[in-house]
Amino acid sequence: MASCSRCGQDNPQGFRFCGACGTPLAAARRPGDEERKVVTVLFCDLVGFTARSDQADPEDVGAILRPYHVRLRQEIERFGGTLDKFIGDAVMAVFGAPAAHEDDPERAVRCAARMLEAIAELNAKQPALALSVRIGITTGEALVVLQPGGETEGVVGDIVNTASRLQGVAPVNGILVGEGTWRATRGPFEYEELEPVRVKGKAQPLPVWRLVRARSRLGVDVDQRPVAPFIGRDAELDLLKRCYARTLRERSVQLVTLLGEPGLGKSRLIHEFARQVDDHQDLVSWRQGRCLPYGDGITFWALGEIVKAQAGILESDPSTQVAAKLDSALQALVGRASDREWLRARLAPLLGLSNAEGPGADQAELFAAWRRVIEAMAASGPLVLVVEDLHWADAALLQFLKYLIDSSAAIALLVIAAARPELVDRHPGWHLQRPNASSITLSPLTDTDTTALIAALLDQPVLPTEVQALLLERAGGNPLYAEEFARLLTDRGLLVRHGHTVRLSLGQEVPFPETVQALIAARLDLLPLERKALVQDAAVVGKVFWSGALATMGGRDEQALQEELEELERRELIRTAKVSSVEGQTEYAFWHAVVRDVAYAQIPRTERMRRHRTAAEWLEHLAGERLADRSEIIAHHYSQAVALARATG
């Protein structure tokens, strides 16, 4: 089975594209391939089961464990995790392998919460089971061994032992998380900090947090006001405002597709536009939904969120109240009772309500009903529909949105679709060839804008050269990276006051924020394996690299290599230098220094050693008689190879 790097779906051998989402499947790895990854490990263990099963018949033990194993496997796979192993009554799951996602820690915590609910459901169905569990979760670096097809063969590292130890000290029917998981998930979840715990194999007590509750449900962000000023996006905001003005002037449907890599500010731009729309004296309806990468019933999730917002439906509402609120909303929108009944039956599935009126309608009928409701929402005044993370949308939702945009008329409707560039890869014609469609592609901020943003985040009008240079390099024009690095410096006390300004603490390394590392690792894991290996080879050469070095290091054909590099450039992972410092060689650099650093950190030490040695040999050959000119960089690669050889024994 080949696992999809985007959605985690298992696909039969021979599939070139994922049967669930259409993403190209990576080529098979060699048995025993290894990669260093930041993963989240979850351990769940039954409480007191060993004593209960003592002297019990093996078949009786199996009868108890079987439904427990089945339900927990379902929850792990539902949230995109990998079941690593069952160890008797213990379950180990890994999130972030074989493919990383930017929200792996959040997926693990949501999975753990669902596990507790699943145990309660099993007990309610079979009271004699009387199951109780403890769950421990931690996030950190591990060595992942991969099978052919990209499946996880094993996860090795101290993180596995730590997760197991946390499970052992967790409260009964409770969830305990380590520091890495807490840092990554303290936004969407509320935790209680407990006293540090001493566990076997650890010299120092471990800081731990107990999960109290989720602050938001899956697919809905915690409502947080932006902490950073709005900088460097005035032109993009003006374009949004012009499209909205055209919508009002012509009473027409307009589509704006907002494209950008993670962290470039799509949501921030939408927030600023919403604030300015709110300042207008006209009453404007604003409805927003988000596409999800995993979970049950997600095909039209974003549309369901829009309908829930219109009807005032809360997640805590029982089904009877959901139905009543839907009826009330339809009564306000539609006059004829027979029409309301027809629409109600076709909106009910979006809200998780069963349709008791027989078999469901076909797609054309559903689309017509949903379009009619949206037109009714826009009949009394301008309507803005925002669909975020459209790159995760199923083809069916894209088809409906195209139908809505093409067939609706005489209403003031602005549709804003925010997505990553993968949307265009999967659906090249999505936003093209439509007179009422515009596209905004966000580029990295300039150094001037990034400096202004960092200064505002650190509340320092003037930054020392060393601090400014470090954050400019690490941010690479990405506002989220800048914000996360500034927060890390502040939270971990890496900045010290020096007169009227600040400076970096002496002798302190600045690590990657977990959020930034997760975003970049997820981007790299979307690449086919050969292309990802190419990025890792480039990372070994350095922040600047040459096509010839990559051809030598990977035994690659020059023509095929050029095509791969062009694709990486199109994805804004690398860029071509205007002038090469090596005659006859195309020179490249990484868009972001952090992309190079994350890619380099993924390579196991033995492989790093080999690649450094190969890079040094290529540079030696290239230098010829001018060896002295490149002696420093050649020495660097050889010294790295020697140090890695010593470290690996």
What pLDDT sits at residue 27? 39
What pLDDT sits at residue 356? 44
What is the pLDDT averaged over residues 252-261? 94
Residue 291 and residue 275 share a domain:
yes
Ranges 144-153, 373-382, 575-584, most confident: 373-382
Is pTM beyond 0.85 here? no
Could you tell me if residue 94 is inside a domain? yes
Helices within 199-350 (DSSP H only): 234-250, 266-278, 301-311, 319-333, 337-347
Residue 419 and residue 475 share a domain:
no
Q: How far is CA 308 from CA 313, 326, 384, 398, in A?
A: 5, 8, 15, 20
What is the pLDDT averaged over residues 152-167? 88
Q: Which of 178, 271, 181, 180 is nearest to 221 (CA)?
A: 271
What pLDDT sits at residue 31? 37
pLDDT at 626 over 80: no
Phi, psi of 637 (to 5 degrees): -65, -40
1 compared with 643, residue with greater pLDDT: 643
What is the pLDDT averaged over residues 246-271? 93
What is the pLDDT averaged over residues 47-58? 72
Could you tell me if residue 323 is inside a domain? yes
Residue 44 and residue 11 share a domain:
no
Dihedral sign of CA atoms 361, 354, 359, 330 in order: negative
Residue 477 and residue 335 share a domain:
no
Question: What residues pair up with 576 in beta bridges, in sequence order?
Answer: 588
pLDDT at 167 over 90: yes
Helix or strand or coil: residue 584? coil
Could you tell me if residue 557 is inside a domain? no
Residue 475 and residue 360 share a domain:
no
DSSP category for residue 206 = B
Residue 309's CB is within 10 A of a number of other CB atoms, namely: 15
Could you tell me if residue 405 is inside a domain? yes
Burial (Cβ within 10 Å: 0-12, 13-18, ≥19) of residue 385: buried
Residue 204 and residue 65 share a domain:
yes
Residue 22 and residue 36 share a domain:
no
Residue 250 and residue 169 share a domain:
no
Inter-residue contact 386 to 356 (CB < 8 Å) = no
What pLDDT sits at residue 149? 55
Indicate the pLDDT class of residue 26, thresholds 50, 70 and 90: very low
What pLDDT sits at residue 428? 80
Three-state DSSP string of 68-135 = HHHHHHHHHHHCCCEEEEEECCEEEEEECCCCCCCCHHHHHHHHHHHHHHHHHHHHHHCCCCCCCEEE
Could you tell me if residue 189 is inside a domain? yes
323-343 residue pLDDT tens: 999 999 999 998 888 889 999
Could you tell me if residue 319 is inside a domain? yes
Q: Which of 50-59, 419-428, 527-536 has the lowest mean pLDDT?
A: 50-59
Number of domains in the chain: 4
pLDDT at 316 over 50: yes
Residue 175 and residue 253 share a domain:
no
209-256 residue pLDDT tens: 999 998 866 555 545 556 678 999 999 999 999 999 999 999 999 999
Q: Cα–Cα distance between 313 and 155 in angstroms, integer?
A: 42
Residue 84 and residue 6 share a domain:
no
Where residue 429 sits, what CATH number does that domain have?
A: 3.40.50.300
pLDDT averaged over the chain? 86
Phi, psi of 555 (to 5 degrees): 60, 45
pLDDT at 1 over 60: no
Question: What residues pair up with 437 in beta bridges, in sequence order?
Answer: 255
Q: Which of 66-75, 83-92, 491-500 has the lowest mean pLDDT?
A: 491-500
At which of 406, 441, 476 does a domain end? Answer: 441
Inter-residue contact 229 to 438 (CB < 8 Å) = no
Q: How far is CA 400 from CA 300, 366, 395, 430, 509, in A?
A: 9, 9, 9, 12, 50
Where residue 81 sits, what CATH number does that domain have?
A: 3.30.70.1230
Q: How far is CA 74 from CA 79, 114, 325, 523, 620, in A?
A: 9, 10, 32, 26, 54
What pLDDT sits at residue 610? 93
Q: How far is CA 262 from CA 267, 280, 354, 421, 481, in A?
A: 10, 30, 36, 10, 10
Could you tell me if residue 563 is inside a domain? no
Inter-residue contact 356 to 341 (CB < 8 Å) = no
Inter-residue contact 483 to 66 (CB < 8 Å) = no
33-42 residue pLDDT tens: 789 999 999 9
Could you tell me if residue 98 is inside a domain? yes
Indicate the pLDDT class of residue 126, thresholds 50, 70 and 90: confident
pLDDT at 98 over 80: yes
% residues pLDDT > 90 (the chain): 49
Q: What is the extent of the structural domain holding 328? A: 234-441
What is the pLDDT averaged over residues 269-276? 92
383-430 residue pLDDT tens: 999 999 999 998 899 999 999 999 988 899 999 999 998 898 888 878
At which of 441, 461, 488 does a domain end? Answer: 441
Q: Cα–Cα distance between 330 and 324 in angstroms, integer?
A: 10
Q: How far is CA 73 from CA 49, 76, 109, 116, 398, in A?
A: 19, 5, 15, 13, 31
Indicate the pLDDT class of residue 506, thresholds 50, 70 and 90: low
At which of 441, 467, 491 does a domain end? Answer: 441
pLDDT at 453 over 70: yes
What pLDDT sits at residue 608? 92
The H or E element spanning position 153 is strand 152-156
Residue 263 and residue 356 share a domain:
yes
pLDDT at 14 over 60: no
Residue 388 and residue 495 share a domain:
no
